[in-house]
Amino acid sequence: MATTTGAGRRVTSRTAMAVALAGLLTACGSGSGGPDEESAAAFDGEDIDLVVPYEPGGGYDAYARGIAPYLEECLGARLVVRNEPGAGGLVATNRTAAAPASDNRIQIVNTVGLVSAQIAEAEGANFDLNDLNWLGRVSSPPNVMVVAQDSPIQDFQDIVDSGEPVQFVAQGPGANDFIAPNIIGQAYGYPFEIITGFAGAPEARTAVVAGNADAHVLPIDSQLAAIEAGDVRPIVTVDEEPDPLLPDVPTIYETEPPDAEAKTIIDNLIALGQTGRGMIASPSMAEERVAALREGMQCALDDTELQTELEEQQRPLAPLSGEDTAALVAEVLDSPAEFQELVVGSY
pLDDT digits (tens, 9 = 90+) for 162-179: 999 999 999 999 989 999
The residue among 141 and 38 whose pLDDT is bigger is: 141
Pairing relation of β-strands 277-281 and 133-139?
antiparallel
Give the Cα separation of 47 and 322 in Å (integer): 21
Give the Cα separation of 193 and 214 in Å (integer): 10
Instruction: Average the pLDDT over 96-111 and give the result.
Output: 97
pLDDT > 80? residue 315: yes
pLDDT at 13: 41
Q: What one-letter code names the amino acid at 279?
A: M
Q: What one-letter code names the amino acid at 249?
A: V
**Number of neighbours of residue 313 by Cβ within 10 angstroms:** 12
pLDDT > 80? residue 329: yes
Write the burial class of residue 121 (CB in 10 Å: 0-12 exposed, 13-18 middle, 19+ buried). exposed
pLDDT at 200: 85
Q: Which residues touch 344 (CB under 8 Å, ≥6 apart)?
A: 119, 120, 121
Confidence of residue 88 (pLDDT cuts 50, 70, 90): confident
Angle of the 176-188 helix axis to the 337-344 helix axis, nearest 10: 130
What is the reported pTM?
Answer: 0.86
pLDDT > 80? residue 9: no
From residue 106, how far is each of 85, 103, 137, 143, 191 by CA, in Å? Answer: 15, 9, 13, 26, 42
Helices (H), the chain: 7-10, 14-25, 37-41, 59-75, 90-98, 111-120, 156-160, 176-188, 201-209, 220-228, 260-275, 287-301, 304-312, 322-333, 337-344
Which tens digit of pLDDT belongs to each residue from 290-314?
Answer: 999 999 999 999 999 999 999 999 9
Confidence of residue 58 (pLDDT cuts 50, 70, 90): confident
pLDDT at 27: 42
Give the Cα separation of 181 and 131 in Å (integer): 30
pLDDT > 60? residue 4: no
From residue 194, how far is each of 111, 216, 261, 344 by CA, in Å? Answer: 23, 10, 23, 16
**Mean of the per-residue pLDDT values of the chain:** 90
